[in-house]
Chain A
Amino acid sequence: VNPNFQGTSVAETDLLQLLARHGAEPQALVQILRELQELHGWLPRDVLKRVADALGLTLAQVEGAAGFYRFLHMAPVGTYRVLFSDNVTDRMLGSVALMDDLCRRLGVAPGRLGEDGLVSVDRTSCTGLCDQGPALLVNHHHVVTRLDATRVAQLAGLIRAHVPVSQWPAEWFEVRDNIRRADVLMGEPSAPGAALAAALARGADEMLAEIKRSNLRGRGGAGFATGLKWELCRRSPGVGRVVVCNADEGEPGTFKDRVLLSRRADAVFEGMTLAAHIVGARRGLLYLRGEYRYLLEPLLAVLQRRRDTRLLGPSILGREGFDFDIAIHVGAGAYVCGEESSLIESLEGKRGTPRIRPPFPAEHGYRGLPTIVNNVETFCAVGHIALQGGAWWAGIGTPQSSGTKVHSVSGDCERPGVYEYPFGTRIGRILEDCGARDTQAVQVGGPSGVCLSAFEFGRRIAFEDVPTAGAFMVFDRSRDMFEVARGFAHFFAHESCGFCTPCRVGTALVVKRMDKLAAGHGSRHDIDVLFELDKLMHTATHCGLGATACNPLRDTILKFRPAYERHLKSLYFEPGFDLDAELSVARRMTGRHDAGAYLENPP
């Protein structure tokens, strides 16, 4: 018997327990929905209603939030919910055929629930396991890495036999760190508390001055000066400030934060605590992407150990008045929440729609309080600056891009994994080190970044040359760059929040054009329309994510145009309407299969 489908009742005690743990406040909505779903599989309407009543929200508000997140379900899903990671790197490793195989073995269609309610199989955006794919996510919690035909066959057998996920072979869930090149951040960690003690010895003013001296810039991609952001927050009037760590690592091809959270969690939390010391915050939040749910328990254990050793909680390191603690918020599948104002909306339990800016979070952030939001890697860096000084950090890398950068290398190379280099490193150097051969292109910074072709491999990783949030996907000459761009187009359409016209409709129109080209019905006119859409989206979208949604398209059309033209039916106009396809039903019914039958005009 499937426990998910015993009526639609959720035990009242479960809800009361969740309310007791998270507080009966609207901010807790997404966490409560997520955990209710963990217990009951999906979220029936009467459950939404009960949650709404408990939190003082309307049913439509709860429905609106639940419908925003890809991992929350308002219709039944399988007891086993299998989601294949659908990044281009997974597809290059054969995920499409493996998913088809699993569906065939289980007798279900992708995205459809089988009649017995046992299993549903679908795709999801990149799960951050590109160096050990193809990967899949089970029940929004467990990950299975390094899929192959054998694993898929066994998996199908275990599901059909109703074997609980906890009893599946342990090695399937193994997530390797694959640290291939370490520098400052991935190198020998300092003892927990050492950086914090150094910061306290310097004092908040001097510590902020050190960070400004280091020229540290945010590692999430935009590269805003960290010291300036913290100073703005510190100066903002208001009682209570908030430190937020953005661990919503959703940019396809990026997995360096996963490794930092697995191996350097103390450094991340220490950086957050150090930030709290500087800006005067008492409250910290780490927004962990839903795909990294399996990291929650280890991270909570690190937090508890830090509390036990007085590195978190009241009077940190015995300093009277230095009170700070960190809670973890688990996301529910929404790429746009990596944008800092969406992330704050999501932390507040709402739909993750980007806010109108200004005001910026440093003045008006979480619940209206001055808030700093920084990337996992940025927080890792500040501890090292506390220990060794701003001038030391500024001496690494280039004048405009100080320090080191961690890269997530995947795709066509012998040694995928995590590589840390000083800023200013040549693209070609990284390609050599990872064992890439016959390389056609590298997508740096993920789909919203830049696609470089071979003549650009002499360029350097730096904010002033090739900026990156950490993804480095390699494509050799056997790959069709049009198909790469088409995959990214589908990603952006799937992840658009739907708020503004150009992104909501534009990403869907791009997909239609790309699919038309892929089906062999395209013409040069379609490429012109794609250019037009790219220009509009760069100018008119509400947030930066929409603005970059056409980047891979523009880069690949400019640099790999033959890849597009191979898909064109003619170089001139070609309608999307396919007469033969439209007539196929009539032909079957009349038995007329002779060529040109539709041209006849009988009297």
Chain B
Amino acid sequence: VTDTADTTGPSFSLDGEDVAFNPGETVLRAATRAGRYIPHLCWHPDFAAHGSCRLCIVKVNGRAGAACTLRAAPGLDVQSNTEELNAHRKTLLQMLFVEGNHFCPSCEKSGNCLLQATAYEMGMEGPHFEEFYPDRPVDASHPDILLDLNRCILCELCVKASHDIDGKNVFEIGGHGIGTHLLVNSDSGRLADTAMTLTDRAASICPVGVILPKRRGFLIPIGERRFDTASVSEQANRGQS
């Protein structure tokens, strides 16, 4: 089996339990492989770490860092599932919710959305902060794919998927500060004028409801969707990241 670490090899401690790792791995990658849940949004096992959402924040010897970029080392004492860090995670989630326009009841992605599932996991019951209600465009120009930027959390997974796997460079990041936003690479700036197709990896990588296949929104009814049957942490424990 190649997908497991050598149990006689090096290990670090995550919330008091040993996690084996392969040299060069990050804390989050080793923990995920071991079926241990550390909340995250912008990280995906198929891509290089990004480190922007900050949900995977952990503490090592009192110092905070992102588990997705923190190199595992023998004997590290990593704290993740603590009251303090989970409170920070909840605040970060609330920030993402108020920054965009996230109306779960009317969103096709509800039940399949990592942002929503993680918010449930962290016990988020309301936005806490005042909503920004930004004015962001919806691009419905593409025959098969809808692009709703109201829900973008700037994880850049679509940027990476389109670049690394599809070889198309359909997406890029523009702007700065609170105005940071996803760009579409075409002369018109519209998705219809790119080479993107429904079979692209970028078309299925979005953890939230920005990049959606058209005409499939409710094929799977609410109640039977990915996170309706098992929470995000339960799925991580089963090795489904």
Interface set of A (CB-CB < 8 Å, partner B): 45, 49, 58-61, 63-64, 67-70, 334, 351, 356, 358, 493-502, 504-509, 512, 529, 532, 536, 539-542, 576
Contact = CB atoms under 8 A, between A and B. Distances in A.
B5 interface: no
Contacts of A67: 174-176
Interface stretch (B17-25, B45-53, B103-111): B45-53
B177 A493 contact: yes
Contacts of B66: 542
Given A496-B178, A501-B95, 9 more contacts: A63-B172, A67-B176, A356-B69, A500-B51, A500-B54, A504-B154, A507-B177, A508-B132, A542-B52
Contact of B174 (A49, A64, A536, A576): A64
A501 B52 contact: yes
Contacts of B154: 498-499, 504
Nearest to B173: A64
B179 A498 contact: yes
Q: For chain A, what secondary structure do more than half of its interface residues adopt (helix, strand, loop), or is it mixed?
A: helix
B187 A504 contact: no
A539 B186 contact: no
Nearest to B48: A356
A49 B188 CA distance: 11
A67 B178 CA distance: 12
B69 A499 contact: no
A494 B177 contact: yes
B183 A64 contact: yes
Contacts of B177: 493-498, 504, 507-508
A63 B57 contact: no
- Which 7 pairs across A and B sit closest by C-beta, in order of nearness? A498-B180, A60-B185, A60-B172, A505-B95, A67-B174, A508-B178, A496-B177
Interface core residue of A49, A59, A493 (most chain B CB under 10 Å): A59
Interface in B41-70: 49, 51-54, 57, 64, 66, 69
Interface in B148-186: 153-154, 169, 171-180, 183-186
A322 to B, nearest CB: 37
A356 B48 CA distance: 11
A151 B158 CA distance: 52
Nearest to B97: A505
A70 to B, nearest CB: 8
A411 to B, nearest CB: 27
B48 to A, nearest CB: 9
A540 B64 contact: yes
A60 B169 CA distance: 9
Contacts of A61: 169, 172, 185
Contact of A493 (B64, B172, B178): B178
Nearest to A496: B177
Contacts of B96: 501, 505
Contacts of A504: 99, 154, 177-178, 180
B226 interface: no
A445 B54 CA distance: 27
B91 interface: yes
Contacts of B187: 45, 49, 59
Interface core residue of B51, B54, B57, B184 (most chain A CB under 10 Å): B54
Interface residues of B, number: 38
Interface of B: 49, 51-54, 57, 64, 66, 69, 71, 88, 91-92, 95-96, 98-99, 129-130, 132, 153-154, 169, 171-180, 183-187
17 contacts: A61-B169, A61-B172, A61-B185, A63-B183, A67-B175, A69-B176, A351-B173, A497-B177, A501-B153, A502-B95, A508-B132, A509-B129, A536-B88, A536-B92, A539-B88, A540-B92, A542-B66
A58 B169 contact: yes
Contacts of A540: 54, 57, 64, 88, 92
Given A59-B186, A498-B180, A501-B53, A539 B174 contact: no
Given A67-B176, A498-B178, A505-B98, A542 B132 contact: no
Interface core residue of B49, B95, B176, B186 (most chain A CB under 10 Å): B176
A59 B92 CA distance: 32
Nearest to A538: B64
Nearest to A502: B54
A93 B17 CA distance: 60
Contacts of A509: 95, 98, 129
A64 B88 CA distance: 30
Contacts of A58: 169, 172, 185
Contacts of B129: 509, 529
A401 to B, nearest CB: 24
Given A499-B52, A500-B54, A502-B54, A539 B172 contact: no
Given A60-B184, A356-B69, A499-B52, A505 B169 contact: no
A541 B95 contact: no
Contacts of B54: 500-502, 540-542
A59 B194 CA distance: 12
A334 B176 CA distance: 10
A506 B95 CA distance: 7
B78 to A, nearest CB: 15
Contacts of A508: 99, 132, 177-178
Nearest to B183: A60
Contacts of A498: 154, 175-180
A529 B184 CA distance: 36
A368 B83 CA distance: 40
A512 B99 CA distance: 13
Given A502-B92, A505-B98, A536-B91, A542 B51 contact: yes
Contacts of A539: 57, 64, 88
A26 B131 CA distance: 39
A64 B172 contact: yes
A501 B49 CA distance: 15
Interface core residue of A60, A61, A509 (most chain B CB under 10 Å): A60
